[in-house]
Structure 1
Amino acid sequence: MPLDTTLIAVALGKLAGQLSRRLGAGGGTTLPGSLARRVAPAILRDLSARLPHGALLVSGTNGKTTTSRMLSEILRTHGERVLHNRAGANLISGLTTTVISATNWMGQPQATLGLFETDEAALPQAIAEVRPRLVLIHNLFRDQLDRYGEVDTVATNWRTALATLPASSTLVLNADDPAVADLGRDMAARVIYYGLEDTRHATGAAAHIADSQFCRRCGTRYHFSAAFYAHIGHYQCPQCGHQRPQPAVALARLDLRGTTGSHLAITYPGGAVEIGLPLPGLYNALNALAATAVAYSLAVPPAQTRQALEAFSAAFGRIERVVAGTGGPPMLIALIKNPVGASETVRMLVEQAPGGRDLHLLIAINDRFADGTDVSWLWDADFEALADAAHVTVSGTRAADMAVRLKYAGLNPERMTTVEDLPAALDAALAALPAGATLYLLPTYTAMLDLREDLAKRGWVRQFWEE
């Protein structure tokens, strides 16, 4: 690519981003990249190649944003200047915008290393263009079938792309997810597995929505000696003997502490590290484990990993704590977007409020493109655990669907309020909130963006691109 074409594309992208923010049209997280690629289609490949320490890709169905933010903090603690799509724009246009924003007007990177959260469907193209030194794949669940297709289709596309990684690259995989773990088979790249060893958390939750139940080698149904949730666990094929690989980086002991956080004891070859994580829930502990595995593979000292994770704060909308004005009640925002994620979020909330009787929730379901237009996944999520909740306000473009789902989950209709307009729904939920209680906000992706836009107008949060 001629250098002058690259510079024109960089300038165009930078100007588009500045104009978008000044006009209040958004954070300028995707448009700059889209415009720049029209001028210089190979700009992502060209600018990524200029990063002195290369680039990392983080993908999977759940946990991408939180895990990549954890990694960003770990790498910054390690002394890297990190280029990171922190706002969560994870399609190719968003990745391109990110490299442009961290490049000066002369096309020189202002970072030492790139870190890209990457959409599942965009991962193959991202691998081809970024040529990463490391790829982390966290998990694979059904999510937006209208966009991605079934999990086997996604896994096949991933395998084809990962097979192009050279021996100098590293592939970090979740040993507890059969479809993800199998991606390490016959790869030229170095493969490192991570996994949860503490079987006290093997409750078998949401087993009815397990996606990877059959052996990747012979097709026989796996036997799970421990199932943490869905198909995440310890598995073995009774026919051919294929089994979960032994993780190099293992969460040996996990102590969950309600909605305040958890304590992790992680082992790795030659050592161990204990981390007090200020985020709640099993899935956030697994996010931290994945980030630790990547840090280990990059030879980051464990003390720096612990320092970064113990000071970590959640990404916007992912267990984000907000106060409703000066002296107002506390709120907690937890993104839900597929059956497994919703079920695990509900389980976390119910476990810290026995019987769910003290829970007050606002659930906002949208069906826009970024959410997935098919909301049938609501029927696979374990909302039955909320049957005894004190009150639920439902909102969003598919509020009526959510109300019907909760009715069939056993929620008393007298404990449910439907308000389609999201700001009005928030007002109603806050008005019904007893003194001293927390309001839990469970939105889908675009509903989360709408919600935070309203919270920003109220002065309760900053816009996500300003954080």
Structure 2
Amino acid sequence: MTILTPLAVALGKVAGQLSRRLGQGGGTTLPGALARRIAPDILRDLSAGLPHGALLISGTNGKTTTSRMISEILTASGERVLHNRAGANLIAGLTATAVADASWAGRLRASIGLFETDEAALPQAVAEVRPRLVLIHNLFRDQLDRYGEVDTVAATWRAALADLPPDATLVLNADDPAVADLGRDLAARVVYYGLDDARHAAGAGAHIADSQFCRRCGARYTFSLAFYAHIGHYSCPRCGHARPDPDVRLARLELQGTAGSRSYITYPGGAMELDLPLPGLYNALNALAACAAATSLGVAPRVVRGALEQFSAAFGRIERLSAGPGGAPMLIALIKNPVGATETVRMLIGESAAAEGLHLLIAINDRYADGTDVSWLWDAEFESLAGAARVTVSGTRADDMAVRLKYAGLPEGRIHIAPELPAAVDAALAGLPAGATLFLLPTYTAMLELREDLAARGWVRQFWEE
């Protein structure tokens, strides 16, 4: 620890307190940015003091939910977890999380660190945190104006992971070709997880597959099973490169609509049956990833199962609430790229077996954190919403979303445009029949604005208070 670390911690703590008291936010980023100006190595110094080391979780979709799952598991196992729970996942956010946990003397109180990490920030996070475990979930095109193509992101990840020492563990999704290939020629231990239940190979969203070509020779992969996009079982007809055999397997999965799912998971030395109270194929895969990470750390399977069966979703990610006491039920599901939007719509249609009864509010923003290029709306599969009862569209790109729904086959009379979110919420609720659920699908900044409005109404707490 340098002599500047306690001073940087103090400045960060004061900035965070002022930010919250003045209503300027949760202090999830600014304290870290200020602390780093005084002590640029503060995250490295603080992380080095964690008795049980640190974990990094990254990927395009699912990292917030998966990291929360792992946090609950580690807490249940007796750890005191340092976790950027509010989702500030750039380096300043990771640093702010560490500063908030540190004593005024500059020493962390936690026993283990767990950081959800933005795709672009992962290389720097690996260098500064020096993690004992890295989990990478998936890699899809997302915010091309910020990240570039998936091959560019994968190349930066590969360079960073090459520096992991032999006593570190890398947990990878065997069903994502770009992610699975990151395990090649590393000093670190590599653990793979994957889905084996062929009944879920619907091939939905296959036209938005990003990793279709062999990572070794460039030939087009052959997929024997395609779960969605490029997630599936693949092999190269030219060189024979293929999906690695998973160490942790989701052998059987029973989806139960928006209520949740039941999974049968095998791992080295055993198996568990898990009732997950979150819906959708992708949440079952989030839980599988969490199981793979936890068992790799030596957490007892009974602890893993107990924590996941009591898990509740992160804010904005399949978050259930009501429009006030006794009000209409609502469900918020973040969408931010073609794959995530397609799978969310697929889940909603699967729940109702048809679109006719669906009432939705879709809020699309094009701010920096969302990605300024909204052309991804045309890659997402909204066609299955053609029969929806009513869709209210909002956000800075409400008109774009309305046009997309029109071309998806939704009659204009069922599309209602309300650019301002509070008015959109009121309009969507006004058109909701008794007993129906309003499904809210916002992009990232729209989700934050939406929850700010709902908090002002007293329907939810601020995200940094959860």
TM (norm. structure 2) is 1.00
Partner of 2:2: 2
Q: How far apart are the structure 2 equivalents of 1:7 and 1:281?
A: 45
State the 1:38 CA deviation. Answer: 0.3
**Pairing 1:256–2:255 present:** yes
Instruction: State the secondary structure of the residue aligned to 1:420.
Output: coil
Partner of 2:307: 308
Partner of 2:58: 59
Partner of 2:236: 237
Partner of 1:295: 294
Instruction: State the secondary structure of the residue aligned to 1:356.
Output: coil
Q: How far apart are the structure 1 equivalents of 2:263 and 2:105?
A: 45
Q: How far apart are the structure 2 equivalents of 1:218 and 1:276?
A: 41
Cα distance per residue 1:147-193 (max 9 Å; x no partner): 00000000000000000000010000000000000000001000000
Instruction: State the secondary structure of the residue aligned to 1:176.
Output: coil
1:357-376 correspondence to structure 2 within 5 Å:
357-376=356-375
Partner of 2:448: 449
1:51-130 correspondence to structure 2 within 5 Å:
51-130=50-129
Instruction: State the secondary structure of the residue aligned to 1:414.
Output: helix
Instruction: State the secondary structure of the residue aligned to 1:98.
Output: helix
Q: How far apart are the structure 2 equivalents of 1:98 and 1:218?
A: 42
Partner of 1:285: 284
1:58-457 correspondence to structure 2 within 5 Å:
58-457=57-456
State the 1:10 CA deviation. Answer: 0.2
Q: What amino acid is the match of 2:366? A: D
Q: How far apart are the structure 1 equivalents of 2:42 and 2:325?
A: 46
State the 1:2 CA deviation. Answer: 2.6
Q: How far apart are the structure 1 equivalents of 2:74 and 2:389?
A: 43
Q: How far apart are the structure 1 equivalents of 2:252 and 2:330?
A: 30
Mark the runs of 5 or more structure 1 residues left unpaired by the alignment: none
Cα distance per residue 1:314-355 (max 9 Å; x no partner): 000000001000110000000000000000000000111122
Q: What amino acid is the match of 1:15? A: V
Q: How far apart are the structure 2 equivalents of 1:72 and 1:269?
A: 22
State the 1:107 CA deviation. Answer: 1.0
Q: How far apart are the structure 1 equivalents of 2:323 and 2:79?
A: 36
Mark the runs of 5 or more structure 2 residues left unpaired by the alignment: none
Q: How far apart are the structure 1 equivalents of 2:287 and 2:387?
A: 32
TM (norm. structure 1) is 0.99
Q: What amino acid is the match of 1:223? A: T
How many residues are paired up?
Answer: 466
Q: What amino acid is the match of 1:423? A: P
Q: How far apart are the structure 1 equivalents of 2:206 and 2:422?
A: 35
Q: How far apart are the structure 1 equivalents of 2:374 and 2:112?
A: 38
Instruction: State the secondary structure of the residue aligned to 2:354.
Output: helix
Q: How far apart are the structure 2 equivalents of 1:242 and 1:51?
A: 39
Q: How far apart are the structure 1 equivalents of 2:188 and 2:260?
A: 35
Q: How far apart are the structure 2 equivalents of 1:73 and 1:199?
A: 30
Moved more, 208-217 or 346-355: 346-355
Q: How far apart are the structure 1 equivalents of 2:306 and 2:54?
A: 23
State the 1:264 CA deviation. Answer: 0.6
Partner of 1:24: 23
Q: How far apart are the structure 2 equivalents of 1:458 and 1:200?
A: 43
Identity value in percent? 77
